[in-house]
Structure 1
């Protein structure tokens, strides 16, 4: 039994999963069990757990793209602005402000919004891979300029829309489950198949561990980095569609605001090193759910908004300490030392 547990702890997703279950258990105790209640209304599932999955869907999608970027030793802090751009383009096309000839087509709006996100990712990748600008500086350019671009698209206004087809992206249901979960499942499945069933995943890990050595072995480091940043931009655009469909509007000032930090945090909780190398997309998805669960806990406890960030930070520090190998070794040594002294005294 102990050997099986030891094997389980070696999996990257084990500790993030334990933390997630602990947070959910604490919520259940605090709420007197109501946290676990799931109701069926008109064939749709409703409840706190369903809310965590639905609200965490855009963060899970972001974490998928961010995991690949961080695995190469890079970073992307422009994803929030890319979300604002994609939401602005989609809503303005549906509203008729952009491309009136499209007739408010949801398919055209979604396609062009995703292409815009892809273009943003290609721009970031060009600056990082070809121009050799530091990733945090390269993506900061779009982080700052992106919201300005979104404001230009919406002419500085909050564009509200009326489209049942577009609402479905966030508010739809299939077999009782929210539609965003199916988007997450599709994106993650395609990504995992590509990463696990091809050499691409090994190339990414190799670049993260040592990009210079990878280049000497024949890996096209620059092209892979470029593709990964493009993929991250596409994921950010998809997350922007989900968020704008949820609020039924394009709010360029608040869409995806500071979500890039939650995305990086989700990946870090999942155990992916920010220095690059080994990565796990499933572990990052669990990390995203941990972040969303913390947010849900804060709201459920009625914690004042001014100290919400402090509470969240404390929980995150505890989670990081739990995952830290050095911290666990330090505790083990101290516990073993105290135990040895007690035995000697006896």
Structure 2
């Protein structure tokens, strides 16, 4: 019972009622699951999760076209989550919902949630009604988060535009949504201008670790920034393991992410309990992880971000020698590419 789960959802009764009243009966192609604090604690006990930072999943408040209604619903959800957290502070924390794409309202609610309700951070959808995180005009919100050194949990949403028949959004589109947001946060200089925000990319960062070198070259082409610096900035995100701790995904994620930046996530209840256990087994059985790395993912990395759940861990050790050598080799290759591109 020592894991800290940074990717677990809640569906308060009032929020579910608002969704259903507006005809929203699914998220990411999956029907809305049942949820209660008691069922959450039961699943947590079975999975060895001691603490969970809860958040509202997609669609957040974006299904409400009236900004005032969206703001009111965000406040209601955050009040509910704050009461739940206050009643069981070592079990539940929460990421506050903010009513994007209304930036001013989102900034105001972030201030209230972080300063008054003592939220553990905020949840930001990859896109809010087609407006992507990291686009121009969101500085007011980022300034609030940067001043408070806040954690910003980036969760995917349905892609703008029609879904492709036969493709479940949570299975493929969500990964692209997170990747687009991460790209813009780096490409548009948000990470540089607001360095105190600790962005957590859900689901292993979407395609970011796998496509990071290609993304770095794209940003270099657009901005002229050193692809080495861009690559380091992409690796500086935090990443959770929700639905991503498989033998296919973990090697890339652990090789790419900065030490201490991989966090445990379950995605319950949108990920059913058997799926939680399946991906937990992937982490436990992956031969590329020693026990210290597993412990760091399960708890100590998150404890550094959320010390109220336990003692702040010791400094993260250096990455393994093979990982360091691979990074140095990539750096040399990118320098050659950048010099060659500059001569064209």
**Which TM class, normalised by the smaller chain length?**
under 0.3
TM-score (norm 1): 0.28
